[in-house]
Protein backbone atom coordinates (compact mmCIF):
# COMPACT_ATOMS: atom_id res chain seq x y z
CA UNK A 1 0.00 0.00 0.00
CA UNK A 2 2.92 2.38 0.66
CA UNK A 3 3.83 4.55 -2.29
CA UNK A 4 4.56 7.96 -3.75
CA UNK A 5 1.81 10.51 -4.35
CA UNK A 6 1.54 11.14 -8.09
CA UNK A 7 -1.68 13.18 -8.12
CA UNK A 8 -4.24 14.83 -5.85
CA UNK A 9 -7.63 15.47 -7.44
CA UNK A 10 -10.92 16.81 -6.07
CA UNK A 11 -13.71 14.28 -6.41
CA UNK A 12 -16.35 15.26 -8.95
CA UNK A 13 -19.17 13.96 -6.78
CA UNK A 14 -17.87 15.72 -3.65
CA UNK A 15 -15.57 18.73 -4.04
CA UNK A 16 -14.81 18.64 -0.31
CA UNK A 17 -12.91 15.36 -0.79
CA UNK A 18 -9.63 14.64 -2.55
CA UNK A 19 -8.61 11.47 -4.37
CA UNK A 20 -5.04 10.42 -3.58
CA UNK A 21 -3.13 8.67 -6.37
CA UNK A 22 -0.17 6.50 -5.37
CA UNK A 23 2.27 5.44 -8.08
CA UNK A 24 -0.19 6.42 -10.80
CA UNK A 25 -3.28 4.69 -9.39
CA UNK A 26 -6.15 6.09 -7.34
CA UNK A 27 -5.64 4.62 -3.89
CA UNK A 28 -8.05 6.31 -1.47
CA UNK A 29 -9.84 9.59 -0.79
CA UNK A 30 -9.68 12.02 2.09
CA UNK A 31 -11.59 15.02 3.38
CA UNK A 32 -9.94 18.19 2.10
CA UNK A 33 -8.93 19.16 5.63
CA UNK A 34 -6.77 16.02 5.88
CA UNK A 35 -5.32 16.32 2.39
CA UNK A 36 -4.04 19.89 2.73
CA UNK A 37 -0.59 18.87 3.93
CA UNK A 38 -0.10 16.24 1.21
CA UNK A 39 1.80 17.04 -1.98
CA UNK A 40 2.77 15.32 -5.21
CA UNK A 41 6.07 13.51 -4.84
CA UNK A 42 5.55 12.79 -1.16
CA UNK A 43 6.08 9.19 -0.07
CA UNK A 44 3.59 7.67 2.36
CA UNK A 45 4.31 4.65 4.53
CA UNK A 46 1.69 2.06 5.44
CA UNK A 47 1.43 3.54 8.93
CA UNK A 48 0.92 7.05 7.56
CA UNK A 49 -1.81 5.84 5.22
CA UNK A 50 -3.54 3.99 8.05
CA UNK A 51 -3.40 7.13 10.20
CA UNK A 52 -4.83 9.27 7.39
CA UNK A 53 -7.67 6.86 6.83
CA UNK A 54 -8.45 6.66 10.54
CA UNK A 55 -8.57 10.46 10.77
CA UNK A 56 -10.79 10.59 7.71
CA UNK A 57 -13.18 8.00 9.14
CA UNK A 58 -13.42 10.06 12.31
CA UNK A 59 -14.06 13.25 10.33
CA UNK A 60 -16.81 11.64 8.25
CA UNK A 61 -18.53 10.39 11.41
CA UNK A 62 -18.14 13.80 13.02
CA UNK A 63 -19.69 15.59 10.04
CA UNK A 64 -22.53 13.07 9.93
CA UNK A 65 -23.42 13.84 13.55
CA UNK A 66 -23.07 17.60 13.08
CA UNK A 67 -25.51 17.32 10.18
CA UNK A 68 -27.98 15.52 12.44
CA UNK A 69 -27.60 18.16 15.14
CA UNK A 70 -28.25 20.96 12.66
CA UNK A 71 -31.70 19.48 12.09
CA UNK A 72 -32.54 19.16 15.81
CA UNK A 73 -30.85 18.29 19.12
CA UNK A 74 -30.19 14.58 19.71
CA UNK A 75 -29.53 12.35 22.69
CA UNK A 76 -26.27 10.47 23.00
CA UNK A 77 -28.15 7.22 22.44
CA UNK A 78 -29.78 8.52 19.26
CA UNK A 79 -26.38 9.52 17.86
CA UNK A 80 -24.84 6.19 18.80
CA UNK A 81 -27.65 4.32 17.04
CA UNK A 82 -27.46 6.46 13.91
CA UNK A 83 -23.71 5.97 13.63
CA UNK A 84 -24.08 2.23 14.12
CA UNK A 85 -26.67 2.08 11.33
CA UNK A 86 -24.23 3.97 9.11
CA UNK A 87 -21.60 1.29 9.73
CA UNK A 88 -19.36 3.36 11.99
CA UNK A 89 -17.36 1.20 14.40
CA UNK A 90 -17.84 1.58 18.15
CA UNK A 91 -14.39 3.07 18.77
CA UNK A 92 -14.90 5.85 16.23
CA UNK A 93 -18.45 6.43 17.44
CA UNK A 94 -17.21 6.75 21.02
CA UNK A 95 -14.53 9.28 20.04
CA UNK A 96 -17.00 11.45 18.14
CA UNK A 97 -19.53 11.36 20.96
CA UNK A 98 -16.88 12.26 23.55
CA UNK A 99 -15.65 15.16 21.41
CA UNK A 100 -19.11 16.59 20.90
CA UNK A 101 -20.06 16.18 24.54
CA UNK A 102 -16.93 18.05 25.58
CA UNK A 103 -17.79 20.79 23.08
CA UNK A 104 -21.30 21.05 24.52
CA UNK A 105 -22.90 20.03 21.23
CA UNK A 106 -24.24 16.75 22.58
CA UNK A 107 -25.98 17.01 25.94
CA UNK A 108 -28.85 14.81 27.14
CA UNK A 109 -29.91 17.38 29.74
CA UNK A 110 -30.08 20.18 27.18
CA UNK A 111 -31.98 17.86 24.84
CA UNK A 112 -34.48 16.93 27.55
CA UNK A 113 -35.00 20.57 28.56
CA UNK A 114 -35.59 21.61 24.94
CA UNK A 115 -37.93 18.68 24.35
CA UNK A 116 -40.06 19.47 27.40
CA UNK A 117 -40.21 23.18 26.58
CA UNK A 118 -41.28 22.46 23.01
CA UNK A 119 -43.92 19.94 24.04
CA UNK A 120 -45.43 22.14 26.73
CA UNK A 121 -45.60 25.06 24.33
CA UNK A 122 -47.14 23.20 21.39
CA UNK A 123 -49.33 20.61 23.11
CA UNK A 124 -49.10 20.50 26.92
CA UNK A 125 -48.89 17.00 28.35
CA UNK A 126 -48.27 15.25 31.64
CA UNK A 127 -44.97 14.31 33.21
CA UNK A 128 -45.63 10.61 32.60
CA UNK A 129 -46.08 11.18 28.89
CA UNK A 130 -43.02 13.43 28.68
CA UNK A 131 -40.92 10.88 30.56
CA UNK A 132 -42.04 8.12 28.20
CA UNK A 133 -41.16 10.22 25.16
CA UNK A 134 -37.73 11.09 26.52
CA UNK A 135 -36.99 7.47 27.39
CA UNK A 136 -37.90 6.49 23.82
CA UNK A 137 -35.35 9.02 22.60
CA UNK A 138 -32.73 7.43 24.82
CA UNK A 139 -32.23 10.37 27.16
CA UNK A 140 -30.24 9.51 30.28
CA UNK A 141 -32.44 8.90 33.37
CA UNK A 142 -30.84 11.74 35.35
CA UNK A 143 -31.45 14.14 32.45
CA UNK A 144 -35.10 13.08 32.29
CA UNK A 145 -35.61 13.56 36.02
CA UNK A 146 -33.95 16.97 36.00
CA UNK A 147 -35.93 18.20 33.00
CA UNK A 148 -39.23 17.15 34.57
CA UNK A 149 -38.49 18.34 38.10
CA UNK A 150 -40.11 21.74 37.59
CA UNK A 151 -43.23 20.52 35.79
CA UNK A 152 -46.57 20.94 37.56
CA UNK A 153 -49.12 18.58 36.01
CA UNK A 154 -52.01 20.70 37.30
CA UNK A 155 -50.73 23.77 35.47
CA UNK A 156 -49.91 21.81 32.32
CA UNK A 157 -53.30 20.07 32.28
CA UNK A 158 -55.16 23.35 32.66
CA UNK A 159 -53.15 24.83 29.79
CA UNK A 160 -53.86 21.75 27.67
CA UNK A 161 -57.58 21.98 28.40
CA UNK A 162 -57.79 25.67 27.56
CA UNK A 163 -55.92 25.05 24.34
CA UNK A 164 -58.27 22.21 23.38
CA UNK A 165 -61.64 23.66 24.35
CA UNK A 166 -62.05 26.04 21.37
CA UNK A 167 -61.86 23.02 19.07
CA UNK A 168 -64.80 21.47 20.91
CA UNK A 169 -67.15 24.40 20.44
CA UNK A 170 -70.52 23.39 19.07
CA UNK A 171 -70.67 20.06 20.88
CA UNK A 172 -73.27 19.29 23.52
CA UNK A 173 -72.02 19.86 27.06
CA UNK A 174 -71.65 16.19 27.99
CA UNK A 175 -69.88 15.28 24.75
CA UNK A 176 -67.63 18.32 25.03
CA UNK A 177 -66.65 17.33 28.54
CA UNK A 178 -66.00 13.71 27.53
CA UNK A 179 -63.87 14.73 24.55
CA UNK A 180 -61.80 16.95 26.83
CA UNK A 181 -61.34 14.12 29.34
CA UNK A 182 -60.15 11.78 26.59
CA UNK A 183 -57.73 14.39 25.25
CA UNK A 184 -56.18 15.01 28.66
CA UNK A 185 -55.93 11.28 29.38
CA UNK A 186 -54.16 10.64 26.06
CA UNK A 187 -51.65 13.30 26.99
CA UNK A 188 -50.67 11.56 30.20
CA UNK A 189 -52.69 13.32 32.88
CA UNK A 190 -54.08 11.34 35.80
CA UNK A 191 -57.76 11.09 36.72
CA UNK A 192 -57.18 13.24 39.82
CA UNK A 193 -55.58 16.00 37.76
CA UNK A 194 -58.33 15.80 35.14
CA UNK A 195 -61.05 16.11 37.79
CA UNK A 196 -59.30 19.18 39.18
CA UNK A 197 -59.16 20.77 35.73
CA UNK A 198 -62.85 20.06 35.11
CA UNK A 199 -63.70 21.74 38.40
CA UNK A 200 -61.63 24.82 37.59
CA UNK A 201 -63.32 25.11 34.20
CA UNK A 202 -66.79 24.62 35.74
CA UNK A 203 -67.28 21.38 33.83
CA UNK A 204 -67.33 19.06 36.83
CA UNK A 205 -71.10 19.12 37.37
CA UNK A 206 -72.11 17.95 33.90
CA UNK A 207 -72.27 14.28 34.85
CA UNK A 208 -69.73 11.50 35.43
CA UNK A 209 -67.30 10.44 32.70
CA UNK A 210 -68.29 7.59 30.44
CA UNK A 211 -67.91 4.16 32.00
CA UNK A 212 -64.69 2.35 31.15
CA UNK A 213 -62.43 5.40 30.86
CA UNK A 214 -60.73 5.01 34.25
CA UNK A 215 -57.98 2.83 32.81
CA UNK A 216 -56.75 5.71 30.66
CA UNK A 217 -56.23 7.97 33.65
CA UNK A 218 -54.39 5.65 36.02
Q: Can you give the CATH number for the domain in which 143 is found? A: 1.10.10
One domain, residues 100 and 120: no
One domain, residues 196 and 213: yes
> How many folded domains does the chain comprise?
4
One domain, residues 72 and 125: no
CA distances from 183 to 7, 126, 129, 138 (A): 65, 11, 13, 26
- Give pLDDT, residue 215: 43
pTM of the model: 0.72
Query: pLDDT tens, 37-83?
Result: 899 999 999 999 999 989 999 999 999 999 999 988 899 999 999 99
| Cβ neighbours of 83 (radius 10 Å) | 21
One domain, residues 74 and 125: no
Give CA–CA dist 126/164, Å, rounded: 15
Give CA–CA dist 43/30, Å, rounded: 16
Confidence of residue 93 (pLDDT cuts 50, 70, 90): very high
One domain, residues 174 and 213: yes
One domain, residues 160 and 216: yes
| Cβ neighbours of 218 (radius 10 Å) | 8
Q: Which domain holds residue 67?
A: 46-105
CA distances from 42 to 49, 125, 169 (A): 12, 62, 77
Amino acid sequence: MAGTITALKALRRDRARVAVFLDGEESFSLALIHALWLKVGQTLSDNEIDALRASDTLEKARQRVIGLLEYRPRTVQEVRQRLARAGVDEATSGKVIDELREAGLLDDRAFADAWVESRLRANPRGKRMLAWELRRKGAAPDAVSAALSGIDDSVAALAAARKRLPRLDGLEARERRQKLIEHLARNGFSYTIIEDVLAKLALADEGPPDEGKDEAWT
